[in-house]
């Protein structure tokens, strides 16, 4: 959907913020034994740390790698929705273990076992959240932001 680097940065910022917030809410709920109103507030404290990390990883490294991986099994003439899903799955398959590793070092006992457990608990949730909620919501927000500019150009 993004047509240039600026739009890609905005898209990535929206996606990173929504994904990180949801995953932090999930992990706070796991650590506290459930979801309360405080869970959503407590999750906000990690955003200034984790969103920039997720943005940098996705924008500069993972996005390109995920596209290469996705197009190793997809063709450019495949249905656009399937290509979108393939790229999303590849991004999740790279970002989830990476972000779980970073979170393990920053917020938990840094050990191989803790990282594997964190990744194992996070991956199914991250994949479902990405495919069914975050991805579509991010694309909707992105279209709402950039639609007026597209319409203005079309009306000239």
In this predicted structure, what is the pLDDT of residue 147?
83
pLDDT mean by block of 10 residues, the chain; 156 residues: 95 98 98 97 97 98 98 97 97 98 96 98 98 98 82 53
Full residue range of the structural domain in which residue 99 is found: 5-155
> Residue 156 and residue 152: Cα distance in Å, rounded?
7
Torsions phi, psi of 42, nearest 5?
A: -60, -35
Q: Count CB neighbours of 50 within 10 A.
A: 22
Domains of the chain: total: 1
């Amino acid at each position: 959907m993004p047509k240039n680097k600026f739009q890609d940065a905005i898209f990535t910022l929206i996606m990173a913020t929504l994904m990180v917030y949801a995953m932090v809410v999930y992990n706070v709920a796991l650590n506290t034994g459930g979801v309360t109103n405080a869970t959503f507030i407590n999750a906000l404290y990690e955003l200034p740390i984790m969103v920039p990390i997720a943005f940098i990883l996705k924008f500069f490294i993972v996005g390109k790698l995920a596209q290469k991986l996705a197009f190793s099994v997809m063709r450019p003439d495949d249905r656009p929705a399937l290509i979108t899903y393939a790229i999303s799955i590849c991004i999740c398959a790279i970002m989830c273990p990476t972000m779980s590793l970073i979170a393990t070092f920053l917020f938990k006992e840094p050990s191989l076992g803790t990282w594997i457990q964190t990744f194992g608990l996070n991956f199914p949730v991250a994949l479902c959240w990405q495919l069914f909620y975050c991805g579509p919501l991010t694309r909707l927000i992105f279209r709402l932001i950039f639609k007026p500019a597209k319409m203005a150009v079309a009306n000239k």
